[in-house]
Amino acid sequence: MSRPHEPHRTVRIGLTGPIGCGKSTVAGWLAARGAIVLDADAVARDVTDEPAVRAAIVAAFGPAVARPDGGLDRAALAATVFGDAGALAKLEALTHPLVRTHLEAAIAAAEAEGAPAVVIEAIKLVEGGLAAACDEVWLVTCDPEAQAWRLAERGVGPADAARRIAAQGDIRTRLVASATRVLDTDRTLDDVRAAALAAYDAVLAAGAD
């Protein structure tokens, strides 16, 4: 449920969409305009570094996901969970409650600082229940061929990219019903940036009404 607009308050924007479609690029543009950006993936990495969570993950998936120094072998963990819906659900059950707690604390801090907007970048924004706390949900999407090419540009191999994309299923169809706006990043970078910033300005203006 969207929160009613109040004068001079921090606007909450949820940013979601398939991997490789440009969420982080859009988030960077909004950050340059003064928004506080919270990256759920980064928070999740921090959460899995917490000793109790790391121990729970190793207990759930076995010693193959642990490095000799006691840290997590993230590549081995990714290979275990991507392409296996049950394994991915098990990992999310261990991490998502803490990720949400950390994000909620960061949102509260951003609002206490008087930030014009807080942007929550998360693939599982809707499934994790965070969309309900947002004023707007932006779905960032692109053509599947562009998605694969952009993952390759990041150094993700074809097999790994295909596994990660397949793990998300038809995410566009699932998320479009929850989206306030859809940003198609198949256009030129300048066009996408102009559309994103125009949407941001409109959201801030609506929040000030």
pLDDT digits (tens, 9 = 90+) for 179-199: 999 999 988 999 999 999 999
| Separation CA 137–CA 176 (nearest Å) | 10
* CB count in 10 Å sphere of residue 173: 8
| Separation CA 183–CA 91 (nearest Å) | 29
pLDDT in the model for residue 201: 95
| Separation CA 95–CA 101 (nearest Å) | 10
Give 174's pLDDT tier (boundaries 50, 70, 90).
confident
**Structure tokens that stand for 117 in this block:** 């907007």
CATH number at residue 170: 3.40.50.300
Look up tokens 């969309």; give the residue. Answer: 131
Of residues 45, 4, 39, 11, the one with CA closest to residue 25: 39
| pTM (whole model) above 0.85 | no
Task: Give the structural domain span for 139.
Answer: 11-208
Domain for residue 2, yes or no? no
pLDDT digits (tens, 9 = 90+) for 19-75: 888 899 999 999 999 999 999 989 999 999 999 999 999 999 999 999 998 889 998
Domain for residue 1, yes or no? no
Domain for residue 170, yes or no? yes
Lowest mean pLDDT across 5-9, 40-44, 112-116, 174-178: 5-9
**Residues constituting the chain:** 209
Number of independent structural domains in the chain: 1
pLDDT digits (tens, 9 = 90+) for 81-101: 877 889 988 999 999 889 999
pLDDT in the model for residue 7: 47
> What b/e sequence results for 136-171 when a residue is b if at least 16 CB atoms lie within 10 Å of its CB, and e otherwise?
bbbbbbbeeeebbebbeeeebeeebbebbbebbeeb
pLDDT digits (tens, 9 = 90+) for 108-127: 999 999 999 999 999 888 88
SS3 40: helix
Residue 92: what residue type? E
Domain for residue 157, yes or no? yes
Burial of 93 (C-beta count, 10 Å sphere; 0-12/13-18/19+): exposed
Look up tokens 């907007």; give the residue. Answer: 117
Domain for residue 16, yes or no? yes
Domain for residue 6, yes or no? no
DSSP string covering 135-187: SEEEEEE--HHHHHHHHHHTT--HHHHHHHHHHH-SHHHHHHTT-SEEEETTS
Question: Which residues, in sequence order, are bridge partners of residue 68?
Answer: none
Give 208's pLDDT tier (boundaries 50, 70, 90).
low
pLDDT in the model for residue 5: 44
Lowest mean pLDDT across 72-76, 143-147, 164-168, 194-198: 164-168
Domain for residue 5, yes or no? no
State yes or no: pLDDT of 2 exceeds 60: no
Please compute Rg for the chain using Cα positions: 18
